[in-house]
Every structure is written in structure tokens, then in C-alpha cells.
């Protein structure tokens, strides 16, 4: 198979964003002196505001009668600072991306984060220079599993679906739509911190399952071995 490019999901595929957000929630609760970080984190999982929106913190404070609400702005600052501060790449991400670049592959990202937040995270982990394309929520106005973000990434990278591998941690939001568009798919099982709903796709499963990021390189080498003979 002639793979010319790889598109990755970002959060929980390149780094453990859930752990970073959990740490931020813990710091907020420590500052407030009341509440439970696990419960606060669950507010971010709701559909009401979305996974990025700090308004979830205000809702949590109101629902749990944590006063004064004047502390909210400080909580937002703690949340934004601590979640980025504690982002760490999964093992072997940087060196794997370097090797994929050296093979001449185009590397892109499709994320539901807005471009500003995405760039802040990528700058923190230092891999922006290894990427050729970033598709963020504010570029298309739609979130996964809609097809538009995936199509935008393919178009900006000059790739066809059949020559592209997509790697992501959500079966419903990453694997299903990319596979529907004709991409080869690899499910990043090592990073799946999603709820049960995100493990339902309505289609057959991923083409490949990987249990560490370095396996992306092994998979690409296997897929392209006939082209290199």
C-alpha cells in the first residue's frame, strides 16, 4: 500500500490530555479548599459547554454552592495554566515523527480544539516543526465525527484518502469517519480514555490496533515494505 501521509488526532493520541486536565482540576479544588477533582472533571465531559470550556468550572461551583464566585476567574487561570504545564508526550512520539518525516511522509493533525489552544499544546511539547498540517475546530466550524475536518486535512495536505493513514484514540470520532472516507485506520488503544459511547462506531472495527505510539512506525514499514523492495 502506498502510504504518503499520516493524520493524527492530537489529545490522548500524542499526549495524555486527560491526565493533564485531571491535574488542573486537582489544583483548582486545592485552591478552593472544597469539592472533588474527579467530580469537577466530569463537568468537562458533559455536552453542555464542551471539553474545553472553563464555564464548566462556574457550573460546578454554583451546583456545589462554593462561594464566592469571585474566585472563578482565578480558577480559570489555574485551569488554563496547569493543564498545559502538565502535558507530556507519550513515549517515542518525537523520535517516531522524526523518522516518519525522514521517510518523506506528510504529517497532519485533526483536532476538535481551536487552533489557538492546539498551537499552545503543540508548542509545549515541541513537535510543531514536525507537522505539515493542522486542522482545528475553528477552521471548519465542525467537530469530529463530521467528515469536514478530515476532508479539510486531506485537501490541505494534497492527499487522497486511500493513500492516508489516520491514527486516533476514539473509535466513534476518529476511526469511524476516517474509515468511511476511505483512509487506512489505526486505533490508538493506549490513549483511549473515552466513555462507552465513544467505543461504538456503527461500522466494522479499525484496520489496525496499536498499543504504543512507536507501533505507528512499525505499521508504516509493514504497509510499505513491498514499495521498498
pLDDT digits (tens, 9 = 90+) for 166-212: 999 999 999 999 999 999 999 999 998 766 666 666 667 899 999 99
In this predicted structure, what is the pLDDT of residue 201? 62
Domain residue ranges in the chain: 5-16+88-228, 17-85
Would you state the pLDDT for residue 147? Answer: 98
Task: Tell me the CB-side half-sphere exposure of residue 82, using CA atoms within 13 A.
Answer: 21
Q: Cα separations (Å) of 9 from 32, 38, 59, 151?
A: 33, 25, 29, 14
Mean residue pLDDT across the chain = 92
> Is residue 173 classed exposed, middle or buried when 0-12, 13-18 and 19+ CB atoms within 10 A define those classes?
buried
pLDDT band at 134 (very low <50, low <70, confident <90, very high): very high
Spell out the SS3 assignment of 155-186: HHHCCCHHHEEEEECCHHHHHHHHHHCCCEEE
Range 59-64 contact pairs with CB under 8 angstroms and sequence separation of 24 or more: 60/35, 61/32, 64/34, 64/35, 64/39
Give per-residue pLDDT as tens, 157-178. Answer: 999 999 999 999 999 999 999 9
In tens, the pLDDT along 72-92 reads: 999 999 999 999 999 999 999
Which CATH architecture best describes the domain 5-16+88-228? 3-Layer(aba) Sandwich (3.40)
Amino acid at each position: 500500500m502506498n502510504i504518503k501521509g499520516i493524520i493524527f488526532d492530537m489529545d490522548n493520541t500524542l499526549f495524555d490530555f486527560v491526565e493533564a486536565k485531571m491535574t488542573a482540576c486537582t489544583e483548582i479544588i486545592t485552591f478552593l479548599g472544597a469539592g472533588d477533582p474527579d467530580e469537577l472533571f466530569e463537568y468537562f465531559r458533559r455536552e453542555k459547554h464542551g471539553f474545553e470550556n472553563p464555564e464548566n468550572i462556574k457550573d460546578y461551583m454554583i451546583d456545589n454552592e462554593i462561594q464566592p464566585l469571585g474566585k472563578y476567574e482565578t480558577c480559570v487561570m489555574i485551569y488554563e495554566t496547569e493543564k498545559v504545564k502538565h502535558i507530556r508526550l507519550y513515549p517515542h512520539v518525537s523520535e517516531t515523527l522524526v523518522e516518519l518525516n525522514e521517510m518523506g511522509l506528510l504529517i497532519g493533525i485533526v483536532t476538535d480544539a481551536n487552533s489557538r489552544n492546539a498551537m499552545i499544546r503543540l508548542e509545549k511539547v515541541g513537535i510543531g516543526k514536525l507537522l505539515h498540517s493542522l486542522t482545528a475546530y475553528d477552521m471548519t466550524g465542525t467537530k469530529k465525527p463530521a467528515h469536514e475536518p478530515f476532508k479539510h486535512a486531506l485537501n490541505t495536505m494534497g492527499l487522497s484518502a486511500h493513500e492516508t493513514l489516520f491514527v486516533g484514540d476514539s473509535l466513534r470520532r476518529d476511526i469511524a469517519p476516517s474509515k468511511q472516507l476511505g483512509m487506512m485506520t489505526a486505533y490508538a488503544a493506549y490513549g483511549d480514555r473515552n466513555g462507552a459511547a465513544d467505543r461504538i462506531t456503527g461500522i466494522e472495527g479499525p484496520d489496525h490496533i496499536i498499543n504504543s505510539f512507536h507501533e505507528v512506525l512499525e505499521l508504516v514499514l509493514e504497509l510499505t515494505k513491498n514499495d521498498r523492495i
